[in-house]
Amino acid sequence: MLGCAGKKGFWCSHRPCRTIGASAIHFRSMDELTEADVRKIEQIHSSWIEFEVAGEDHNLMALCADDIELWPPDAQPLLGRAAVSARMAPGNTRIHCIEIIERRIRGSNEVAYLTAGYKTTFSSAEDSTPRQARGSHLWILRKRAATWIVTLVSWSLWGRAVVSGTSHPLSVPR
């Protein structure tokens, strides 16, 4: 975002810009996320989705803190890389694609949270009929040594449905 002064990374938040002469000086709290941080978090989220679709749970864990928490809607919360990795292992479910809807990222320069809706198309080894699950998820990320890491992933499940009229392989949206 370009601010009034045309410099990237500077903008007015909840207070009006203060002007001196013909130029504007912007004050941004040091606690707010920068655009660069938002882009880094978006990239982490996109990488996670790609790894999840590819069944690469070991790559997912590289994005996580050692004390990662996973709060699934249908089971007890899990703590730590080993427990979360075991839950995220592909197993009998094949994910065809994950569509992210209305992703929002907010937070400070140390802690951020991401919310989004999702639509996942998947099938099982026992039944190749594509199904969809819809819901929302919440992520909490922490910045450590200038790197954002995932510390908590929680999601809700609004419903599941069979995908009607699908007779061809599904492609992963880019």
Rounded Cα distance, 112 and 164, in Å: 38
Collapse the DSSP code of 72 into the 3-class scheme (helix H, G, I; strand E, B; otherwise coil) and give the result: coil
Over the stretch 70-124, which tens digit does the pLDDT of each residue have?
999 988 999 999 999 888 876 778 889 999 999 999 999 999 999 999 999 999 8
Quote the pLDDT of residue 86. Answer: 86
Question: What is the pTM assigned to this prediction?
Answer: 0.72
- CATH pick for 33-162 out of 3.90.1200.10, 3.90.700.10, 3.90.79.10, 3.10.450.50: 3.10.450.50
pLDDT tens column, 11-43: 233 333 333 333 344 444 546 899 999 999 999
Cβ(150)–Cβ(68) below 8 Å: yes
Residue of 6 and 163 predicted with greater confidence:
163
Rounded to a whole number, what is the largest CA-CA distance in the chain?
71
Helix locations, the chain, DSSP H = 35-54, 57-61, 81-88
pLDDT band at 125 (very low <50, low <70, confident <90, very high): confident
Stretch 47-75: mean pLDDT, rounded?
A: 91
pLDDT single digits (tens) 131-165: 999 999 999 999 998 999 999 999 999 876 666 65
Indicate if the pLDDT at residue 10 is higher than 60: no
The whole-angstrom separation of Cα 100 and Cα 24 is: 37
3-class secondary structure, 35? helix
Q: Is the pLDDT of residue 8 over 70?
A: no
C-alpha dihedral over 24, 30, 34, 37, to 10 degrees? 170
Residues 60, 48: contact at Cβ < 8 Å?
A: yes
Vertex 32, ends 29 and 33: CA angle to 5°? 145
Confidence band for 7, pLDDT divided at 50, 70 and 90 = very low
